[in-house]
Amino acid sequence: LISALQAKPLAGHTVLMTAGPTYEPIDPVRGITNISSGKMGYALARALALAGAKVQLISGPVALPVPYGVERIDVQTAREMHQAVMQRVGQARIFIGVAAVADFRPLDVAADKIKKTGDGLTLNLTRNPDILAEVASLPAAPFCVGFAAESQNLDTYASGKLQAKRLQLVVGNLVQDGMGGDTNQVVLFDAAGSHPLPRASKTEVATGIVAHLAKMLEV
């Protein structure tokens, strides 16, 4: 599989991508985040670079080294991620949203640490921008790839996201199959249907995704 990338099928292509979680502060010492190790996104960034692409990786907080040949831009919140993407998307041929973006953020961020005075605490949350949907609806949108991590009904939800966000490709997985670990089992959804990839290391899964992507870009 790795040898499929040595032909550099993505040479000359610029890929902009997101990975990792976002972190939405509540106060100076606390925040809301999503579970994401960043491993799948980083493996994909590495495979894209190996395939010859110029890769810009907008990354939430993760404990991973920058893959060789990849430019990483660090962000914390969904709004910072959104801004970093919008600044660069004009130059990108392909956009891939791998990040587990927090759908909501606290409406107000407390300037000081919140003290536990009452018996309960209510947080007011507000919607974050949908980065992938916004990129896909640009007049000169790049080729758009989304990820869908679901806990049930993978086919329905993943193909629903393909249509709703008007994407060219969705990589779906059941969270119980991939989260945090070093292997993953994914199904690729595109206009032609669904294509399951075998359970494999995240490196091999990333290679499979890039090979599929390169084939789609060929035609």
Q: How far is the CB of 62 from ligand CTP (least distance, A)?
A: 14
| Nearer to Ca ion among residue 60 and residue 208 (C-beta) | 60
User: 146 contacts which partner out of Ca ion, ligand CTP, none, CB within 5 to 8 A by kind?
Assistant: ligand CTP
Q: Give residues in contact with ligand CTP (CB under 6 A).
A: 18, 78, 97-99, 101, 103, 128, 130-132, 146-149, 161
DSSP 148-213: EEESS-HHHHHHHHHHHTT-SEEEEEEHHHHTTSSEE--EEEETTEEEEPPSEEHHHHHHHHHHHH
Say whether 132 counts as a known binding-site residue: yes
- Residue 73 annotated as binding? no
**Whether 142 contacts 53, CB under 8 Å:** no
d(CA 72, CA 17): 10
What are residue 189's DSSP bridge partners? 170, 194
Among 103, 130, 177, 190, binds Ca ion (CB under 5 A): 103
34 in active site: yes
> Tokens 């993407």 map to which residue?
85
Residues within window 43-62 making contact with Ca ion, judged by CB under 5 A: none
Identify which of residues 53 and 170 has a Cβ nearer to ligand CTP in the complex: 170
Binding residue per annotation — 39? no
Which residues would be at the binding site for Ca ion (CB under 5 A)?
103
